[in-house]
Structures are given as structure tokens and as C-alpha cells.
Amino acid sequence: MTIEWKFPHNGFGQVRGVSDAGIETFTGTEIQSLAREICQNSLDAAVEGSNATIKVDFEQYRIPSSDIPGYEQYASKIQKAYDYWSKKNSEKTIKVLTKALNAIKKPNTVVLRISDFNTTGLSHPYEDSDEGWNALTKLDGGATKTGDKAGAFGIGKNAPFTNSDYRLVFYRTLNEDQETAAQGMSRFISFPEDLSNSMNTMTTGIGYYGNPEGNLPVDSISELEKLYQRTEIGTDVFVYGFNAGHEWNSDVINEVLENFLMSIHKNLLSVTVDNKVIDNSTLASYLSTYNSKIKNAYWYYQVLVRPETKVFKKDFHGMGTLKLSVLVDPSEKLNRKILITRSSGMKLFALGNMSRIISFSGVLEMEGKELNEFFREMETPAHDKWLPSRHSTNVPLAKEYNNELKDWIRGCIQTLGEHSSDDEIEVAGLAGVLQKESDKTNQRGDDSNKESLQDTIGSITIQPRTSKTKPKGLFYGNDGNGKSKNTDTEGTIGSDGGDPTTRNLGGTRHRSKKDSHKGRVEQGGHDTVHKRYGGDINQELKNVRVIKTSRNTYRVSFILPRDICAGHVEIVTVGENGKSNRLAIHSASELMGCTGIKKSSEGVSFSSMKGNEKVQFEIALLDNRDYAMEVNVYEHN
């Protein structure tokens, strides 16, 4: 059988330019994308039911260019492409082709071999199938992976080509059916085989080296066997004209540690880069060595191994389990992010904007095929974020579940933060303010360049609001517009050893005058003596928190300077002009340090609250909008 290069005719159809969309996706992050996509594909090819660790090897060779399979023929294809496009007005195309032509003519070249083991290999290499071999070499812009496998768009296979000066990659496999197959592939540019008759001989720009009948693979290619002989089931990728430079091995190690930390820690993956083995036993050492470049991975690893890490679990609508591990350490400057991972342990992205004051790092594992599959529907092609609008079957539900998951994570972090940061952020005059957190705080006016005090929990920022009036917080009824509860009592009026009291004039007629008297009240008289519950008229609250726990539910907490027997809490929204409006409460329930919590026309009423310890209760608003909030407590007299 003849083995040769063949670039199929484009059938007078579309001409392929040098700026291929699939390849441009990875431009600028070539070696990083290669490491990520290759390891991801190998994890997806794990043998079902096997506990064997997937092994991936990266090894570089320097060889004579003449040892490239089909070298003379392939070099002539690049020359034809250059001769055709050099007459066109495309500066970028000419630049790329000039680089490729100069590279292929060099006496030596570099090859990067990437091999995986304990995988299934590529199935159906000689059949007309949308799976296995053909999915890699012929199915363009599609994906055949299902369930919780990582590849969902089929563009990752372009990553190796971005690492070749002349976009040349060879594949080889030994699969579970003991079939061997090898084939070269070029994702290059359209060109005419005959420059004098360009229209009739224009190619697609995709070329294959192997069996020209059907552009199929062959059993073996001698040049590949010369580099490395495969004896175990798995797949090899050979990148010819490898252009990553001298630091390629460090770049690969960084990317592996950054993206497959969980896979390696759970002993699902082992990666060897230029004879350096990164596995469960060496992981800690490499994280320490590369700490400065992969600080995030280092802290995520601390989450996994530190004994003080807290673990939260949540059954998510019967689809699977969310497992959140969070490390809070005020003495360390943690990254304040949550690593989102797949069941395979591969990093998806880091979720931020959880808190600016709580020093934490966390890892979220999504356990369960159905759960992973549902959220995979929201992934971008780069696998770096969730966009609910991308969900193919139920966008409204995707938005709801996405918000619910983030709210749950935020609530878990805030629960830990309350126990670790109260003493650090006690600021006199600080009222509870709730607002959306953003990456940048916008300031106005003359103070635009001044630093502002901010205390953030999740999407909540607690900050002082300047005011010319006296500070608010805890009020006694008369001065703070509280309700008046008249109490008949016997006692000595005045300050001669008795409690301070006020004697109102008797009768039902309205009287604006209130006189203070000295003397003894007679039992059964018409006068009423009001006993003040004690303390200053206006006092500060400490450690005020308003924490959003779900779409319209908030947890309110603070510390009072003394015990209160009865009163109400007013929750107000604060506008930019400083004016306040009372928020309507849908429901309220006590959590700690208080009794008799219930909604009322003023906000939340209570029968008692303890002083000098945390008071905490939960409220639900009538809507789910986000407000800037203040908390005022009124003691009834």
C-alpha cells in the first residue's frame, strides 16, 4: 500500500484561510492549551470501572527534518501554498507561510511526543464512525462526548496544531480491540495543486498522511516507531515543528498543576514531563517549587490537606451532590476564590466575588453524572465559565440553579467568616449596609482618590455612611420614636436614691406639658409613673451584619450594649442622597440571642434581646431586589 500526503479538493467550495477559528482560539496560550486539552482528553478516555491512574507522558526529541514522515512531499505543499498566497494582498498569510517555509527547510526540527496509558485508545480507526478516530481527525466543529466528560465542543483537538510551525501533527493508537492505527494530519491553508489551474485544483487546506483511499490511517508509520514504540493500550500525539521554546517543560508543569490539581491529588492522573513525574506523592513538592507562579493552586492544595478545612455537602435537586471544602485563615492572605472542578478533578474556573474581608480559599466538587452534565450545558467553549443562556434545554432553570449554587457557596463562606472575623472588623459607628459587590468601587466628587473603609461579605459591603446628625443604632423610645407602654408603679419620684421617673398629669384630655415631681405616688391614683428601662438614650450597635442567604432572605446580626426587654428593629434602605425608607418585611424568625421575633408594621418586633453577645435573626423581604440597608433597634419605653 502506498503511504502519501493527500489534500482533498474543495469541490469549488470554501477556501480556507490561515486564520482558522479553531486554531485562533488557542493563539497566545499555545503550550498551556496543549497541556490542558491533552490531559483532559486522556481523563475522558479512562477505562470504565477501572481504578488505574491515567498516565500522560510529555517528551521532546530533536531529529533531522528529513525524518518527518512524507517530508519532501509535505515541504512541496507548503511551497505551493506560499507561491499562491504571496501574490495575494494578505500580509498575515504571507508572514505565516514564510515562517512555515523557513522552518520546514531547516536541517533539524523538534518533535513533542505526548502519550497516555491506562486509557481505551481510539476506537473505530478504519470505520465510518463519528466516535474515536474519526471524531479526532474528520469531525470538525462537533463533539461526541456525553455525560460528565469534559469535552463538549470538539475544538480542543486544534490545540496541538498551534504548537507546530507548520501545523503538522501525527496520531497513533493501540486500542482495546488490539487495533493499531497511525496517520498524519495538517490543518493548514487552502492552496492549488496546480498554480496554472488554481480553480480546478484548489484544496480544502486539510491534509492527511496515510492511506490515500478514503484518507484512512495505516497500521504503522516507521518514522513514529523509530521515535517510540507503543506496547500498551493508549494514544500518542506527535507534534512536528514544535515551537514552544526552551521553557516548554516548566510551562507544561505549571499548567498541569493549575488545572489538574484535584485529579493528581485524588490519584486519577499522573503526568511525566521531560522525566519529571508529577503524581500524588510528589504533588506537594512541585507546588512548593512552583509556588510563585501558581499561587492559586498552592492555596487550593492547602484546602485539601489542612485539618481545619470545613466541608459542606448539599444534595442538588436529586441530580448529585455539591461538596464544598473551605479553608478560612485570617493569618494568611488566601486568594478568596472557589475552585470549580468536574468529577474527573479537572479545573473549570475559579469563582470569585465571594468576600473581600474573609481570608479563604475553597474547592467545589460536583459529584454525579447528571449534575455534571446539567452544568456542562452552561460552559463556554473555553471551559472557563458558566453562562446559563447557553443551556440547550432549559435556560430559566439554568439561571435559577446557577444562582442557587452561588448563593449556597456564599452562605457557607459567610457562616465561617462570622466566627473568624468579628473581632477584626469592629468599627464604631458602622451600620449594616447591603449592596452588590463589584471589582472596582466607584467614588464621586473630591474624595475620588481617597481610600474608603469597606467590609465585604459575599455580595455585601458594610461601610459607614457619613452624616451630620448623631449616629444611629439603639434608641430609647421617646427619643427614637418607639412605642410607649405605660406602666403603673409605686415608687419614689425624683433622684433621691430611686429610679428616674416621669409623672404625667392625669385625665384623658391631651396635654403637651409633662412635669417632673418629687414625692410618693399613692396606690390607685390617677397618675401614671413611667419607668425607663435604663441606659443612654442613643447608643451604638456593634458588629452589624446583613448577610444575603438566598434570593430574598437575609440574616441580620449585631451586638447590643445591654439587655432589652421589648422593642422593634427597623430595616431601612439608604439612597445615595442619604434618605432612608423602611423596607417591608414578609417574615421573620429568631436564631440566637433574642425571643419573640416576628414581623410587624415597623419591621421586626421582639420581646427580648441579650446584650454584649451576638443577636441574630432571619428576615425575608417581599421582593428579591438588592438594597443598601441600615439596621436600627428601638427599645420600647
Q: What is the 3-state secondary structure (H, E, C) of 209-225?
A: EEECCCCECECCCHHHH
Q: Is there a domain that residue 632 lies in?
A: yes
Joined grid coordinates for residue 413:
463562606
Determine the Cα–Cα distance for residues 597 and 474; give it in Å rounded to an integer.
17
Q: Read off the DSSP letter of residue 424.
A: G
Determine the Cα–Cα distance for residues 410 and 257; give it in Å rounded to an integer.
26
Find, among 568, 637, 553, the residue nearest to 609 by Cα: 568
Q: Is 492 helix (H, G, I), strand (E, B) or coil?
A: strand
User: Backbone dihedral region of 28: left (phi > 0), alpha (psi from -120 to 50 degrees) or beta?
Assistant: left
Joined grid coordinates for residue 403:
444562582
Q: Is 97 helix (H, G, I), strand (E, B) or coil?
A: helix
Joined grid coordinates for residue 212:
490515500
Please state the separation of Cα 391 from the chain's center in Å: 18
Joined grid coordinates for residue 239:
507534534
Question: φ, ψ for residue 581 (rounded to 5)?
Answer: -130, 135
Please state the separation of Cα 197 from the chain's center in Å: 54
Are 493 and 388 found together in one domain? no
Angle at 240 between CA 112 and CA 46, to 5 degrees: 50
Give the pLDDT of residue 169: 96
Give the pLDDT of residue 440: 39
Are 190 and 99 found together in one domain? yes
Joined grid coordinates for residue 511:
396635654
What is the length of the chain? 637
Quote the radius of gyration of the chain (alpha carbons, Å): 35
Q: Is there a domain that residue 537 lies in?
A: yes
Q: Is there a domain that residue 465 lies in?
A: no
Are 54 and 202 found together in one domain? yes
Q: Is 134 helix (H, G, I), strand (E, B) or coil?
A: helix
Strand partners, 130: none
Give the pLDDT of residue 231: 94
Are 118 and 58 found together in one domain? yes
Contact 397, 378 (CB under 8 A): no
- Residue that terminates a domain, selected from 385, 418, 451: 418
Give the pLDDT of residue 306: 92
Are 240 and 137 found together in one domain? yes
- Residue that terminates a domain, selected from 397, 418, 439: 418
Q: List CB contacts of 469: < 8 A, sequence separation 6 or more.
A: none
Are 238 and 136 found together in one domain? yes
Q: List CB contacts of 169: < 8 A, sequence separation 6 or more.
A: 160, 161, 184, 185, 186, 187, 237, 238, 239, 240
Q: CA 279 → CA 2, 149, 287, 449, distances in Å?
A: 43, 22, 11, 48
Are 476 and 413 found together in one domain? no
Terminal C-alpha separation, the chain: 102
- Residue that terminates a domain, selected from 395, 418, 441: 418
Q: Can you list the residues of the chain whose pLDDT is less than 70?
A: 21-22, 141-155, 382-383, 417-537, 575-579, 637
Determine the Cα–Cα distance for residues 463 and 429; give it in Å rounded to an integer.
9
Q: CA 364 → CA 303, 326, 346, 361, 410, distances in Å?
A: 11, 9, 11, 10, 12
Q: CA 335 → CA 355, 358, 456, 461, 623, distances in Å?
A: 10, 10, 15, 18, 33
Are 224 and 112 found together in one domain? yes
Total Cβ atoms within 10 A of residue 21: 10
Give the pLDDT of residue 509: 52
Place of cell 404625667: 504
Angle at 360 between CA 354 and CA 363, to 5 degrees: 80
Q: Is there a domain that residue 257 lies in?
A: no
pTM as predicted: 0.66
Are 231 and 335 found together in one domain? no
Are 532 and 622 found together in one domain? yes
Are 305 and 237 found together in one domain? no
Q: Is there a domain that residue 461 lies in?
A: no
Find, among 246, 208, 241, 233, the residue nearest to 68 by Cα: 241
Place of cell 493563539: 27
Q: Is there a domain that residue 327 lies in?
A: yes
Contact 278, 286 (CB under 8 A): yes
Q: Is there a domain that residue 449 lies in?
A: no
Q: What is the CATH number of the domain that holds 100?
A: 3.30.565
Are 537 and 410 found together in one domain? no
Count of domains forming the chain: 3
Q: Is there a domain that residue 430 lies in?
A: no
DSSP calls for 369-409: HHHHHHHHTTB-TTSS-B-GGG-SS-HHHHHHHHHHHHHHH
Determine the Cα–Cα distance for residues 65 and 76; give it in Å rounded to an integer.
14
Question: φ, ψ for residue 114 (rounded to 5)?
Answer: -125, 120
Residue ranges of the alpha helices (H) in 457-572? 477-480
Domain region containing 595:
471-504+515-636
Instruction: Provide the sign of the torsion angle of the four alpha carbons 390, 29, 149, 19, taken in this order.
Output: positive
What digits encode the pLDDT tens for the residues 564-575? 888 899 888 876
